[in-house]
């Protein structure tokens, strides 16, 4: 689909959803943020700890350290032995995991609401007192390297997108893979992870998000007592690393041992910085979000009809799959993606042309009110169903906090998207899809690149987090 839906909130939607209790935000005595969203429908609570640090905060030579540190937070404190954290969460009747992105690192659990205090004590301990022997790091970095092998190096498509990303961005730290380059993982030391922890894991750079069957005042008092007691440290000054404007098309052929080709097109685009913004760049970003949904937002959308169904059987099938996506917002620059897997016997250039033709069609003919209504109705329905999950509520609130946006950002964003017109969508298709802003990657099947793969039973499992 066309957007990271954790960044979408509620707009003009049914009263039953709007009647839900409003989230509240507090600043604890040490500078840590607390966000509480009551939802009394079930005796459960989602507990998330967000740290505003991700792969984009790394420096060359230590790529992957943010993700490696996420793994190490499961490896102990002076009072919790390696591996014991997960066992303690399970004993509370909870489930837990974590994730690292370019922008953030987040740790999350879903537990019976009556166990929230015990969960806070566990999470606050590892946030403040993460500690482990060097041997634990040396073992875990091998797990991370295996994760990179299985998810990236053994996937030609993943390697192509990684290489494409490194070519698309030049100055922006988004050019680096979240998992890190293998050479950096080989060279990473336990001290690299400890230094990263000391630099970024400070209360002023973190937020605790609670959603579920809780009382706001009680949670505030509990968080102040537990999390507010963590000593604060100065937060490093972040230096701007702006991506220079692209001045010409970039193209790469990525040769790999694969049966099928693949094509991907990435256009540098304006992003949304504030859901309330009315500046031209933000309005264009909203229209691009709608455009991506019209191209690939539902079964039978434009790309599927044109490339996969062959315009309802009026022409030959061009692709086995096709998609569109737009990042909309993030701490770094955003891209509009088009991609497709050519059907057998169809040249990659033909599919690239077909993808561009769909943008050109919107530019020349516009989009219908029926299409607009359909994608907006689907968004609204998705938001209604998403509110059934306390985890999704917590994740959305944390996502907006990470981008320095308010509690109302989701409502404001959906309201803005609902206002996007057909004329705006046609306008961005006419103005913004310049060849000068385009990076194209083609996955080229090459049997000479084939290597002997390890049998499945020789591949150690990789953890969820």
**pLDDT 10s digits, 199-216:** 999 999 999 999 999 999
Does the annotation count 70 as an active-site position?
yes
Quick one: CA torsion of 409, 415, 419, 422, rounded to 10 degrees?
80
In this prediction, residue 241 carries a pLDDT of: 86
CB 383 within 8 A of CB 8: yes
Which among 26, 22, 23 has a CA at the least distance from the CA of 228? 26
In this prediction, residue 450 carries a pLDDT of: 79
Range 277-305 average pLDDT: 95
In this prediction, residue 458 carries a pLDDT of: 55
Domains contained in the chain, number: 2
Element (H, E) at 250: strand 250-256
Q: Are residues 50 and 191 in the same domain?
A: yes
| pLDDT tens, position by position, 389-432 | 999 999 999 999 999 999 999 889 999 999 999 999 999 999 99
Residue 10 belongs to a domain: yes
Which among 411, 413, 430 has a CA at the least distance from the CA of 422? 430
CB 68 within 8 A of CB 141: yes
Count other Cβ atoms within 10 Å, centred on residue 370: 7
Rounded to whole angstroms, the Cα distance separating 125 from 381 reads: 39
Output the pTM of the full model.
Answer: 0.90
Print the domain residue range for 400: 250-446
Residue 461 belongs to a domain: no
Rounded to whole angstroms, the Cα distance separating 60 from 309 reads: 45
Q: Are residues 72 and 152 in the same domain?
A: yes
| pLDDT tens, position by position, 240-260 | 889 999 999 999 999 999 999
Q: Are residues 288 and 435 in the same domain?
A: yes
| pLDDT tens, position by position, 378-391 | 888 887 777 789 99
CATH number for the domain harbouring residue 148: 3.30.830.10
Which one is catalytic: 58, 70, 136, 162? 70
- Which is higher by pLDDT, 12 or 163? 163
Residue 96 belongs to a domain: yes
């Amino acid at each position: 689909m066309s957007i990271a839906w954790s960044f979408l909130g509620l707009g003009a939607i049914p009263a039953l959803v709007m009647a839900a209790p409003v989230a509240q935000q507090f600043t604890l005595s040490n500078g840590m943020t607390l966000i509480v969203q009551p939802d009394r429908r079930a005796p459960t609570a989602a507990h998330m700890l967000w740290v505003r640090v991700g792969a984009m905060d790394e420096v060359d030579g230590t790529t992957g350290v943010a993700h490696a540190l996420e793994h190490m937070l499961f490896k102990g404190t002076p009072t919790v032995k390696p591996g014991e954290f997960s066992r303690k969460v399970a004993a509370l009747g909870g489930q837990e995991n974590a994730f690292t992105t370019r922008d953030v690192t987040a740790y999350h659990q879903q537990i019976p609401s009556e166990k929230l205090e015990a969960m806070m004590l566990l999470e606050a301990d590892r946030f403040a007192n993460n500690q482990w022997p060097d041997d634990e790091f040396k073992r875990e970095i091998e797990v991370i390297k295996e994760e990179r092998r299985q998810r990236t190096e053994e996937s030609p498509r993943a390697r192509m997108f990684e290489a494409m990303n490194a070519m698309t961005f030049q100055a922006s730290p988004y050019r680096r893979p979240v998992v890190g380059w293998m050479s950096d993982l080989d060279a990473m030391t336990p001290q690299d992870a400890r230094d990263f922890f000391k630099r970024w894991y400070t209360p002023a750079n973190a937020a605790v998000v609670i959603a579920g069957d809780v009382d706001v005042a009680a949670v505030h008092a509990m968080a102040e007592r537990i999390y507010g007691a963590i000593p604060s440290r100065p937060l490093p000054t972040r230096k701007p690393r702006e991506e220079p404007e692209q001045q010409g098309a970039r193209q790469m052929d990525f040769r790999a041992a694969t049966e099928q080709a693949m094509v991907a097109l990435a256009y540098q685009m304006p992003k949304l910085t504030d859901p309330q913004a009315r500046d031209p760049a933000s309005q264009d970003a909203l229209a691009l979000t709608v455009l991506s949904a019209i191209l690939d937002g539902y079964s039978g959308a434009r790309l599927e009809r044109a490339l996969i169904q062959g315009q309802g059987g009026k022409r030959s099938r061009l692709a086995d799959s096709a998609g569109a996506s737009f990042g909309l917002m993030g701490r770094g620059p955003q891209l509009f993606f088009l991609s497709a897997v050519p059907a057998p016997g169809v040249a990659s250039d033909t599919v690239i042309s077909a993808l561009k033709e769909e943008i050109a069609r919107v530019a020349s003919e516009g989009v219908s009110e029926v299409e607009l209504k359909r994608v907006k109705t689907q968004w609204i329905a998705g938001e209604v169903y998403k509110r059934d999950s306390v985890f999704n509520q917590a994740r959305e609130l944390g996502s907006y906090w990470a981008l320095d946006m308010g509690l109302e950002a989701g409502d404001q964003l959906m309201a803005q998207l609902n206002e996007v017109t057909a004329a705006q969508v046609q306008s961005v298709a006419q103005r913004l899809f310049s060849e000068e802003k385009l990076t194209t990657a083609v996955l080229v099947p090459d049997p000479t690149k084939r290597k002997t793969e390890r049998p499945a039973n020789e591949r150690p499992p990789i953890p969820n987090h």
